[in-house]
Amino acid sequence: MSNISELPGLQELWSETKGDAAVCIAILDGPVDLSHACFDGANITEVETIAKSPAGLDSASQHGTHVSSVIFAQHDSEVLGIAPQCRGLIVPIYTSSNGGSRVCSQLDLARAINQALAHGADIINISGGELTSSGSAEPVLEKAIQQCIDSGVMVVAAAGNNGCRCLHVPASISTVLTVGAMDENGEPLQFSNWGDNYQENGILALGENVLGAESGSGTVIRSGTSFSAPIVSGIAALLLSLQHKNGVDATAQKIRSTLLDTAESCNRETEADCQRVLRGRLNIKSAHSSIKIQIANNLSQQKIPPQFYPSSFNSKVDVNHALNTSYIRTTSDLINQRRNIMSENSLANTTVSETGVTESNATINQEVISEVAIPEPISITPSAIQASEVEASDCGCNQAKAEPEKAYALGQIGFDFGTEAKRDAFQQISGINIHDPIAVLDYFEVDPASAANVIWTLSLDATVVYAIQPYGPFASNTFDRLKNLLKSQLHDNMERVSVPGLISGSETLLNGQIVPLIFPDLRGMYGWSTNELIELIAGVCPTDKKKAELHANKIEGIQNFLERIYYEVRNLGTTPQERAMNYAATNAFQVSEAYTKAIQADMKLDRIEVERSPICRPGSDCWDVKLGFFNPAKRLEQARHVYRFTVDVSGVIPVTVGKVRHWDVY
């Protein structure tokens, strides 16, 4: 059995910090048995997801409980967690139902990452992945991870336990910190994966016979990259806590760079042997020293007198006095700082992939168990999403209930029957061909009440991302709106629908998938054709030849913007940035003003970004959608021009604030 407390350099790091409540680690895994004695006194919150289910004795719960205990187990218990005083966030992606299946789609993994980000995670641990030949993730997953990177949040993922030169998603994504498994002597374990993508972003950590909590009670030892990953996540959290403790502004992304730069490099003779070591072995002592140097340099740059340095730098320090100075931030300050860092995150126009994740484990007798796929989240039931699946890599707490999540999603309306019994009943009662959406829509006209006997869905192209549940006194009006939107899609070439609402629970579709359930706000449900919207914005084409040319350029520019929103920057519409971006696409009249001026200056759209707005009303949540333009013929001569319009997303339905602002960027 490997004792985590004996990891070289950990005791020295523990002597300075066992974590900080301002540092949050999110565990994306199976349900966690928070009643286990090792979590008594831990600061852990569980987030409700579509995979939410009670912890049990099944595989998913055992895995999630073990992984979580490696980080959060308190030091008065049988298990010693690496960062017991950090804040924990449990975001279930596997479910305890159906025998504890450990599989989830890349789309659902992206949802969970977005939720972790929204709840203030600094580090996200994913002890799972999906085996892939290309190493590429689906766009939605890549985008979710990119939002983490833009916010300074570190994503840690297991390398996988196939024992081959092969890759897992999300570990194969270059901005993720990949963790493989080694034994106590630093030798790569036979089941630990390696590959080209891991050579720059991967390190090895202890993954053999790792002690952890067993769901129910007691302890268990397991082997696998699933248990190497939380060791690295815990060490990263301690290093980040140390910086916070000493008043240094830092992000987990900077800690990631430190861990990679200080990793103990391979000392083997052949390159083939070294590939299994990835970038190197986790070196806690060197990483700790590097962080202390960074802290000392920071204190020096701030011109803090040496007598006020923390005790880790000068044993003669008057610590109490130092903590009372403005040089050392309080926990409250650090939490606020963390929120600011997150809110200032910018959403760039990057592409994302959706994939699945798996996990590797071993039994107590060191028999490596085959990897399992990440379970699709359960709570209601998923939709017809044919996405790849992510499997887990495995071989006494405060549980706060989160408020319903807001969404402002764009997509296409559809319907599903949920179960074969409901499908057959609908067919027998209606006597129609239920596979013909036009026939079903016509039947809704004959029997309006039947619209409540199907599951209404919202899809991103061919992927169902939400189930829609009308509710309240205007539910019948909402059903009518859904029918009309579907009719327009089928007969009038309507391409996009906006659905604002609150997410709560989930729904299961006929194919067995589970999707989040959105309770829509009728006031913001609209549908449109891109061409008709553009024509409405651009107005009638002038007869003057020169003006007609400008008009054509304006139409082309607006279409370019909308297409990039719909495809290049497509999203789930849940984070504030995504909701602001999607609202900007539906409120294209403001975009029209920007394009009119840009086209007159011979400029083209360069980038679309979202960032926290400095202009906002009290109690609101405001974001600026920024459109950057440049002149292709005068890249080095003419300044770029930026147009910024502010969107308040504090309500279910976003609203614009103030006028469009613009300026030159040199």
Catalytic residue numbers, as ranges: 29, 63, 226
How far, in Å, CA of 361 to CA of 352, rounded?
A: 29
Distance of CA 234 to the CA centre of its chain: 19
What is d(CA 438, CA 596) in angstroms, rounded to the nearest whole number? 40
DSSP 94: S
Q: Are 87 and 26 in contact, with CB atoms under 8 Å apart?
A: no
Work out the number of other CB atoms within 10 angstroms of the CB of residue 418: 18
CB 380 within 8 A of CB 509: no
Among candidates 507, 456, 503, 516, which has minimal Cα distance to 480? 456
Residue 604 — left, alpha, or beta (φ > 0 → left; ψ -120 to 50 → alpha)?
Answer: beta
- 388 CB burial (10 A radius; 0-12, 13-18, 19+): buried
Q: What is the DSSP string of 544-592?
A: SHHHHHHHHHHHHHHHHHHHIIIIIT---S-SHHHHHHHHHHH-HHHHH
Task: Tell me the C-alpha distance between 95 and 561, whole Å.
Answer: 39
User: How far apart are the C-alpha atoms of 405 and 501, rounded to whole Å?
Assistant: 9
Q: Which residue has the tokens 């707490």?
A: 397
Q: Is 223 helix (H, G, I), strand (E, B) or coil?
A: coil
- Through-space distance between the first and last CA atoms of the chain, rounded to whole angstroms: 60
Can you spell out the DSSP letters for 144-188?
HHHHHHHTT-EEEEE--SS-SB-EEETTTSTTSEEEEEE-TTSPB
DSSP 8-state assignment for residue 432: S
Task: Count other C-beta atoms under 10 Å from residue 66's C-beta.
Answer: 31
H-assigned helices in 399-436: 420-430
CA atoms within 13 A on the CB side of 313: 25
Whether the link from the prior residue into 170 is cis, omega within 30° of 0, is yes
| Residue partners of 357: CB distance under 8 A and separation at least 6 | 93, 104, 106, 109, 126, 128, 129, 130, 157, 168, 169, 170, 373, 374, 389, 390, 391, 392, 393
- With contact defined as beta carbons under 8 Å apart, do 142 and 169 qualify? no
Residue 620 CB burial class (10 angstroms; 0-12, 13-18, ≥19):
middle
Whole-angstrom distance, CA of residue 113 vs CA of residue 155: 9
